[in-house]
């Protein structure tokens, strides 16, 4: 079932990439690379919005209160470049990078959030993509180790 | 001793409470330290401050590069501007922002944010060769570099100080936990030593008490043995006195002497009764009294009591009535002689001590309890009913002779599992209820006995001797039904009589009463003086 879903997503992305690219919405917002297979996928905001969306409600150290974060699930995005690998290196626009075990994406509904409480993230406000963990649902995630993984202004995901 | 026990309890409770208090305080302190450690290991805000400083530098660098015509483009400038903006935004929200703001006492970040807003239009609309604008923007942001650097330094130093504080707090917690543990161990050890010492003291005391109790028990046993021995020793000569008095009365014709002898007989009987009381009392004290548990006819009690108490009532010039309820079971199982004795002791007490004028004793049986209700009409005077229970006039060092009877009766009733209650009737008479658990049993088959005796006293003696047995005395007309015949052995024509009896009923048991040469014709002969127990046993043999 997971494999079928992955294939359909790949097909969707391939079709989307075949279309003419227009202005900023058509520019690559996120690059996903599987270094083991050499597969690379660049996703525009439209393509990211075209992926199945998930919403999690959680608190974290960087917001004042509980908020709804919406966007594609990290595991769905990673699946676009095929299986394999143990870690994902997440890189921000300012070249800040953090290494995350792929297990996190399997065990938890980690979201590549594109909006907060319905408002799309701007680059001035942790956008366009903020990696958000469902910390309120899992006490074990309320730890500095996971705080460091809440990387914002995400631009690149490398599977190793 | 009581205060010492209370002290031990308080000490134990105190040690437990203090130990719990120390443990709780230690736990809370440790928990605080853990929480502080957790806070310390949260998002590293020094990094956030450094990042802000760094992003400002990168933004200024992008402007500088663009002016120099190298790599930076307006896109890069805008991107750096946005990233710088996002770093400023970190200071504005969430727990991390709150902690960062706490260090920004000069409001450097707030002023930088205002500058971002002021320069936003210029940055967004900047063109590649607009060097003067770039220079102006650089000039506007350049002064913030030092302020942000100072802020980064403050945050780094502040966080290090906080970390040092937490480390010191954890050291203090560890020290406290160590000293608290030592204190607890010392307290518990002290308490244990104290309790061990106390235990030894109690054991010593218990040993002494036990030795003392054994000593008193031995003394009491000696006393009881002495009492028992003396009572036995006194009963023997007293029986002799009674026998001699009976003989003297039998031959004495002078009324005055007869009356004196009767008086002496009564006194001797009373003394014998008291000796029996003493024997019982001693046996009860030593828990040596063995109660019988045998079947008996309720009539035994009913018939024996007037016989036993009649002379006492007569002497006291009082009226005594003994009767049983109509639904009284025929046969009961218990200790009839002890029951009889209890009733006799209480009635005698009422007659001789309370000055009773009229006594009625009614026996009834209900739900496994034999109830004797003694209704007493008494003259009053110095006696009061509560004396029956020894609640007045009884002291440790004195014992009224009159109270011996009720004491023995009370002890016997208690021994039999019963109780004595005192009350009054509707017409103001004393009502003493003696309730004793007794089992009603189905009577065994009745033995038909014919008394064929010439002498009325002899018949009375024989009847009395076997009264306790389940016998039915039949008349001479029903001789054919007789199973046992008590026949005067010395009368004329006795051999013919025996032959006739055996002819009518071959299985009849014929007991000869009195002296005879012709013993062979009888099953057994009870010679004079008649042994009541022996006669009873012979008749009982016929029951099988």
Range B388-410 average pLDDT = 62
B453 and B407 part of one domain: no
Range B17-30 average pLDDT = 76
Share of chain B above pLDDT 90, in %: 8
- The closest CB to that of A62, out of B83, B85, B90, belongs to B90
- The closest CB to that of A61, out of B42, B79, B86, belongs to B42
pLDDT of residue B72: 59
User: Among the three residues B152, B169, B192, which one is the final residue of a domain in this structure?
Assistant: B192
- The closest CB to that of A144, out of B41, B90, B97, belongs to B41
Q: Does the distance separating the beta carbons of A96 and B51 come in below 8 Å? A: yes
B12 and B128 part of one domain: yes
- Of these ranges, B284-293, B295-304, B520-529, the one predicted with the greatest mean pLDDT is B520-529
Q: Cis peptide leading into A128, omega within 30 of 0?
A: yes
**Chain B hits for A64, Cβ within 8 Å:** 93-94
Are the beta carbons of A84 and A36 closer than 8 angstroms? yes
Q: Which of A58, A61, A95, A121 to mutate to test the interface with B (most CBs of B within 10 A)?
A: A61
Answer yes or no: is B222 within a domain: no
**pLDDT higher at A99 or B428:** A99
pLDDT of residue B396: 45
Confidence of residue A132 (pLDDT cuts 50, 70, 90): very high
- B224-233: list long-range contacts, CB under 8 Å, 24+ apart: B224/B282, B224/B283, B224/B285, B224/B286, B227/B278, B227/B279, B227/B281, B227/B282, B228/B279, B228/B282, B228/B283, B230/B278, B231/B275, B231/B276, B231/B278, B231/B279, B231/B282, B232/B279
CATH of the domain at B473: 3.40.50.2300
pLDDT of residue A19: 34
Chain B nearest CA to A133, separation (Å)? 15
Rounded distance between C-alpha atoms, residue B510 and residue B541, angstroms? 12
Does residue A149 sit at the B interface (CB-CB below 8 Å)?
A: no
pLDDT of residue B395: 46
B428 and B475 part of one domain: no
Chain B nearest CA to A80, separation (Å)? 27
B501 and B404 part of one domain: no
Confidence of residue B36 (pLDDT cuts 50, 70, 90): low
Nearest CA in chain A to B39: A144
B62 and B156 part of one domain: yes
- The closest CB to that of B86, out of A61, A64, A123, belongs to A123
Q: What is the largest CA-CA distance in chain A?
A: 45
Range B97-115 average pLDDT = 88
- The closest CB to that of A63, out of B41, B42, B93, belongs to B93
Confidence of residue B372 (pLDDT cuts 50, 70, 90): very high
**pLDDT higher at A66 or B168:** A66
Are the beta carbons of B434 and B371 closer than 8 angstroms? yes
Range B463-468 average pLDDT = 84
Q: Does the distance separating the beta carbons of B41 and A94 come in below 8 Å? A: no
Answer yes or no: is B300 within a domain: yes
Rounded distance between C-alpha atoms, residue B360 and residue B320, angstroms? 6
Give the residue numbers spanning the domain of B468.
Answer: 447-541
Asked whether residue B125 carries a pLDDT value surpassing 70, the answer given is yes
Asked whether residue A8 carries a pLDDT value surpassing 60, the answer given is no
B305 and B382 part of one domain: yes
pLDDT of residue A3: 46
Q: How many CB atoms lie within 10 A of CB B96?
A: 20
pLDDT of residue B398: 46
Answer yes or no: is B424 within a domain: yes
Helix (H, G, I), strand (E, B) or coil at A153: coil
**Chain B hits for A147, Cβ within 8 Å:** 42-43
Is ipTM over 0.95? no
B313 and B385 part of one domain: yes
Average pLDDT, chain B: 82
B423 and B490 part of one domain: no
pLDDT of residue A91: 93
- The closest CB to that of A123, out of B41, B51, B82, belongs to B82
pLDDT of residue A131: 95
Does residue A147 sit at the B interface (CB-CB below 8 Å)?
A: yes
- The closest CB to that of B86, out of A61, A126, A147, belongs to A126
Rounded distance between C-alpha atoms, residue B416 and residue B403, angstroms? 20
Share of chain B above pLDDT 70, in %: 90
User: Among the three residues B192, B226, B249, which one is the final residue of a domain in this structure?
Assistant: B192
Nearest CA in chain A to B47: A148
B99 and B38 part of one domain: yes
CA gyration radius for chain A?
15
B310 and B456 part of one domain: no
Answer yes or no: is B411 within a domain: yes
Does residue A62 sit at the B interface (CB-CB below 8 Å)?
A: yes
Secondary-structure percent of chain A, ordered helix, strand, coil, rounded to 5 = 30, 35, 35
Answer yes or no: is B108 within a domain: yes
Confidence of residue A18 (pLDDT cuts 50, 70, 90): very low
Rounded distance between C-alpha atoms, residue A56 and residue B513, angstroms? 118
Confidence of residue B71 (pLDDT cuts 50, 70, 90): low
Confidence of residue A17 (pLDDT cuts 50, 70, 90): very low
**pLDDT higher at B11 or A5:** B11
Are the beta carbons of A41 and A81 closer than 8 angstroms? yes
Asked whether residue B117 carries a pLDDT value surpassing 80, the answer given is yes
The dotted CATH code for A2-159 is 3.90.420.10
DSSP bridge pairs for A56: A69
Chain A nearest CA to B169, separation (Å)? 21
Report the number of distinct structural domains present in chain B: 3
Does residue A59 sit at the B interface (CB-CB below 8 Å)?
A: no
Contact residues, A window 114-143, toward B, CB-based 8 Å cutoff: 122-126
Torsion of Cα atoms, B104 then B107 then B108 then B109, to 10°: 80
**Chain B hits for A60, Cβ within 8 Å:** 94
Answer yes or no: is B285 within a domain: no
Rounded distance between C-alpha atoms, residue B284 and residue B412, angstroms? 8
Asked whether residue B487 carries a pLDDT value surpassing 50, the answer given is yes
**B255-285 and B404-415 helices cross at what angle (nearest 10)?**
50
- What residue ranges do the domains of chain A occupy? 2-159
Give the residue from B523, B514, B349, B497 showing the smallest Cα distance to B434: B349
Are the beta carbons of B339 and B301 closer than 8 angstroms? yes
Rounded distance between C-alpha atoms, residue B161 and residue B165, angstroms? 6
* Residue pairs between chains A and B whose CB atoms are closer than 8 Å: 48
Asked whether residue A20 carries a pLDDT value surpassing 50, the answer given is no
Confidence of residue B392 (pLDDT cuts 50, 70, 90): very low
B265, two tokens: 């007989």
B485, two tokens: 């015949």
Share of chain A above pLDDT 70, in %: 84
pLDDT of residue B400: 57
Asked whether residue B1 carries a pLDDT value surpassing 70, the answer given is no
- The closest CB to that of A124, out of B41, B86, B94, belongs to B86
B353 and B477 part of one domain: no
Answer yes or no: is B198 within a domain: no
User: What burial class does residue B312 get, using C-beta atoms within 10 Å of its C-beta: 0-12 exposed, 13-18 middle, 19+ buried?
Assistant: buried
Asked whether residue A80 carries a pLDDT value surpassing 60, the answer given is yes
**Chain B hits for A123, Cβ within 8 Å:** 79, 82-83, 85-86
pLDDT of residue B401: 57
Does residue A63 sit at the B interface (CB-CB below 8 Å)?
A: yes
Asked whether residue B243 carries a pLDDT value surpassing 80, the answer given is yes
Confidence of residue A88 (pLDDT cuts 50, 70, 90): very high
**Chain B hits for A63, Cβ within 8 Å:** 93-94
User: Among the three residues B150, B168, B192, which one is the final residue of a domain in this structure?
Assistant: B192
Give the residue from B420, B427, B540, B442 showing the smallest Cα distance to B484: B540
pLDDT of residue A66: 92
pLDDT of residue A58: 93
Q: Which of A123, A124, A130 to mutate to test the interface with B (most CBs of B within 10 A)?
A: A124
Nearest CA in chain A to B43: A144
Q: Does the distance separating the beta carbons of B86 and A62 come in below 8 Å? A: no
Which residues in B have their CB inside 8 Å of a CB on A? 41-44, 51, 55, 58, 79, 82-83, 85-86, 89-90, 93-97
């Amino acid at each position: 079932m997971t494999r079928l879903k992955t294939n359909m997503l790949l097909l969707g992305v391939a079709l989307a990439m075949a279309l003419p690219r227009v202005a900023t919405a058509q520019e690559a917002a996120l690059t996903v690379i599987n270094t083991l297979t050499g597969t690379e996928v660049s996703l525009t905001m439209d393509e990211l919005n075209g992926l199945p969306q998930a919403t999690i409600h959680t608190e974290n150290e960087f917001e004042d209160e509980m908020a709804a974060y919406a966007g594609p699930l990290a595991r769905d995005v990673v699946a676009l470049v095929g299986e394999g690998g143990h870690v994902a290196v997440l890189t921000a626009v300012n070249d800040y990078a953090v290494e995350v075990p792929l297990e996190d994406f399997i065990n938890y509904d980690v979201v590549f959030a594109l909006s907060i409480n319905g408002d799309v993230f701007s680059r001035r406000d942790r956008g366009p993509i903020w990696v958000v963990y469902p910390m309120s649902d899992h006490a074990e995630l309320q730890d500095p180790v996971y705080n460091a993984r809440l990387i914002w202004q995400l631009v690149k995901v490398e599977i190793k | 001793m009581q205060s010492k026990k209370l002290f031990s309890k308080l000490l134990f409770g105190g040690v437990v409470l203090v130990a719990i208090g120390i443990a709780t305080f230690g736990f809370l302190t440790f928990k605080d330290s853990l929480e502080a450690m957790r806070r310390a290991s949260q998002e590293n805000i020094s990094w956030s401050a450094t990042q802000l400083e760094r992003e400002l530098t990168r933004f200024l660098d992008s402007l500088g590069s663009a002016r120099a015509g190298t790599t930076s483009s307006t896109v890069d400038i805008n991107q750096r501007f946005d990233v710088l903006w996002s770093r400023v935004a970190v200071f504005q929200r969430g727990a991390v922002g709150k902690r960062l703001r706490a260090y920004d006492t000069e409001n450097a970040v707030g002023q930088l944010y205002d500058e971002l807003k002021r320069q936003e239009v210029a940055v967004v609309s900047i063109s590649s060769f607009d060097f003067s604008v770039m220079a102006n923007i650089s000039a506007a942001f350049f002064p913030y570099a030092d302020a942000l650097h100072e802020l980064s330094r403050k945050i780094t130093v502040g966080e290090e100080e906080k970390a040092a504080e937490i480390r010191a707090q954890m050291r203090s917690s560890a020290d406290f936990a160590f000293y608290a543990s030592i204190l607890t161990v010392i307290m518990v050890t002290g308490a244990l030593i104290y309790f061990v010492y106390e235990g030894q003291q109690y054991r010593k005391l218990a040993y002494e008490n036990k030795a003392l109790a054994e000593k008193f028990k031995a003394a009491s046993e000696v006393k009881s043995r002495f009492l028992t021995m003396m009572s036995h020793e006194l009963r023997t000569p007293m029986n002799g006195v009674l026998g001699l008095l009976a003989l003297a009365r039998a031959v004495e014709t002078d009324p005055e002497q007869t009356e004196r002898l009767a008086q002496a007989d009564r006194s001797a009987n009373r003394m014998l009764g008291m000796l029996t009381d003493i024997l019982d009392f001693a046996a009860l004290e030593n828990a040596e009294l063995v109660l019988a548990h045998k079947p008996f006819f309720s009539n035994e009690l009913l018939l024996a009591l007037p016989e036993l108490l009649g002379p006492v009532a007569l002497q006291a010039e009082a009226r005594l009535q003994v009767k049983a309820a109509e639904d009284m079971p025929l046969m009961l199982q218990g200790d009839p002689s002890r029951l009889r004795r209890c009733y006799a002791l209480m009635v005698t007490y009422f007659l001789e001590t309370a000055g009773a004028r009229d006594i009625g004793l009614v026996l009834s049986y209900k739900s496994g309890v034999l109830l004797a209700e003694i209704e007493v009409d008494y003259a009053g005077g110095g006696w009061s009913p509560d004396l029956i229970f020894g609640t007045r006039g009884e002291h440790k060092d004195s014992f009224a002779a009159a109270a011996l009877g009720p004491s023995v009766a009370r002890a016997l009733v208690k021994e039999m599992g019963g109780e004595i209650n005192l009350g009054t009737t509707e017409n103001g008479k004393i009502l003493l209820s003696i309730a004793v658990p007794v089992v009603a049993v189905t009577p065994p088959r009745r033995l038909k006995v014919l008394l064929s005796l010439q002498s009325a006293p002899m018949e009375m003696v024989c009847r009395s001797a076997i009264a306790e047995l389940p016998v039915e005395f039949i008349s001479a007309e029903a001789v054919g039904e007789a199973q046992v015949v008590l026949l005067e052995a010395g009368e004329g024509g006795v051999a013919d009589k025996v032959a006739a009896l055996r002819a009518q009923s071959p299985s009849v048991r014929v007991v000869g009463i009195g002296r005879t040469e012709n013993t062979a014709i009888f099953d057994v002969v009870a010679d004079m003086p008649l042994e009541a127990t022996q006669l009873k046993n012979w008749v009982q043999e016929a029951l099988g």
